[in-house]
């Protein structure tokens, strides 16, 4: 079971890396509105490095937790930028809670996502409403919790939660940044969604497609 899940993790990272590579220019343009324009490059590089670390780990028989920890380390090391460090820490914390000896349930996804959110907030200190990826991640976790409460299966739970993250990322357009590199040009960012929230929502929808069929 663990090796099947590890292979699914690698397939997910491959799909994510393709998506972020294709979205590099779009995410760069979003980040250039009030930031330094490097978000697309960082996400593309980080996810590519994560995949390159995950593939050999899974091939060597590592379980999903070890595969995601290796992926997170490489993402943080190679992406550069604030979002790279946060994604690395988030993936590590998420992976740490995945079981190696049985199928991943919706409750496992919830526990892992909560741990990822905690790690991101511990490291970045962003609060809700600061116009960061936290503003997409909290609604994702909340909807996962609601889905688990409703007895939803893994696929349905992650699809529901990813939809919420998308809506929340779109709503960040109304916000004024209070942290990160976009802060000095905060007013210019109003009307444009946060790049990190946008890429996170894209990633979560892709994960829902891979995991949820
Ligand atoms: P950098 O800002 O270092 O150039 P990126 O452009 O890759 O890094 O990422 C920018 C994104 O990172 C922002 O859109 C925001 O979502 C996220 N971000 C920035 N600072 C924080 C923080 N303290 N906590 C959470 N997310 C943050
Ligand atoms: Mg940037
Ligand atoms: Mg930068």
Distance CA 95, CA 102 (A): 14
Q: pTM above the 0.95 mark? A: yes
Percent of the chain whose predicted confidence (pLDDT) is above 70: 98
Q: Does residue 38 have a pLDDT over 90?
A: yes
Over range 122-131, report the average pLDDT: 96
How many Cβ atoms sit within 10 Å of the Cβ of residue 171? 15
Q: 164-193: per-residue pLDDT in tens?
A: 999 999 999 999 988 776 667 788 899 999
The alpha-helical segments, DSSP class H, found in 60-178 are: 64-79, 81-96, 106-124, 134-149, 154-171
Q: 50-88: per-residue pLDDT in tens?
A: 999 999 999 999 999 999 999 999 999 999 999 999 999
Closest by CA position to 207, among listed 6, 5, 9, 1:
9
Contact predicate 178/197, CB 8 Å: no
Contact predicate 172/33, CB 8 Å: no
Q: How many residues does the chain have?
A: 213
| Enclosing domain of residue 12 | 2-212
Total domains in the fold of the chain: 1
* Mutate-to-test residue for ligand 1 from 39, 75, 90, 203, highest number of ligand atoms within 8 A of CB: 39
ipTM of the complex: 0.99
User: How does DSSP classify residue 176?
Assistant: P
How much distance in Å is there from the Cα of 86 to the middle of ligand 3?
13
CATH number for position 32: 1.25.40.340
């Amino acid at each position: 079971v663990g090796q099947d899940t590890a292979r699914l993790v690698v397939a997910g990272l491959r799909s994510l890396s393709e998506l972020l590579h294709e979205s590099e220019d779009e995410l760069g343009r979003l980040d250039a509105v009030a930031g330094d324009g490097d978000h697309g490059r960082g996400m593309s590089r980080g996810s590519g490095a994560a995949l390159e670390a995950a593939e050999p780990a899974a091939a060597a028989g590592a379980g999903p937790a070890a595969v995601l920890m290796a992926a997170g380390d490489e993402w943080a090391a190679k992406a550069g930028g604030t979002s790279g460090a946060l994604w690395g820490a988030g993936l590590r914390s998420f992976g740490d809670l995945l079981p190696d000896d049985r199928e991943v349930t919706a409750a496992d996804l919830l526990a892992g996502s909560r741990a990822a959110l905690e790690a991101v907030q511990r490291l970045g200190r962003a609060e809700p409403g600061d116009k960061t990826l936290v503003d997409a991640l909290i609604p994702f976790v909340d909807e996962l919790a609601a889905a688990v409460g409703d007895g939803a299966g893994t696929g349905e739970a992650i699809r529901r939660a990813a939809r919420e993250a998308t809506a929340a990322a779109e709503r960040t357009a109304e916000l004024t940044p209070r942290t990160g590199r976009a802060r000095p040009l905060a007013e210019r960012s109003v009307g444009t969604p946060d790049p990190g929230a946008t890429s996170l929502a894209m990633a979560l929808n892709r994960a829902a497609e891979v995991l949820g069929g």
